[in-house]
Amino acid sequence: MLEAGIKGNQTTAVTQQNTAKALGSGGLEVFATPAMIALMEKTAAESVSGLLEEGWGTVGISLNVKHTAPTPVGMKVTCESVLTEVDGKRLVFEVTASDEKGVIGSGIHERFIINNEKFMQKVNEKLKNA
């Protein structure tokens, strides 16, 4: 059963592959904003995935986050998520990313519960009509 208060936690190392320079979101070798966002989505998604019925999953539908501090290659970034609202199939999470020196980003992330098979049918219909 999904209810407010469910928490998630994920950690990743900052490497050359997830820097702003490598991902094209900037020219510096620091943890990229797209990498931080992906970590936030992964943390929230995995925090509830084991609580859903088989054949069901979640998809991200909105993000409102700020990336407020840089993290150099070699450090680790940890993301924590807290499910703050369950509104039918809409889930709202508070997400916070921190490195060893403190918070580097935070915000709100929304996900929607979907039936995986039906969702993929809609996706594949796009290919048929392309």
* pLDDT > 80? residue 130: no
pLDDT of residue 128: 86
pLDDT of residue 91: 98
Average pLDDT over residues 102-122: 98
Q: Which of 50, 51, 44, 60 is nearest to 10 (CA)?
A: 44
Active site residues: 33, 41, 67
- The residue with tokens 């929607």 is 112
Provide the CATH number for the domain formed by 7-128 in this structure: 3.10.129.10
pTM for the model stands at: 0.95
Residue 100's pLDDT band, with cuts at 50, 70 and 90, is very high
> What does pLDDT average to over the chain?
97
Residue 88's pLDDT band, with cuts at 50, 70 and 90, is very high
- pLDDT tens string 23-82: 999 999 999 999 999 999 999 999 999 999 999 999 999 999 999 999 999 999 999 999
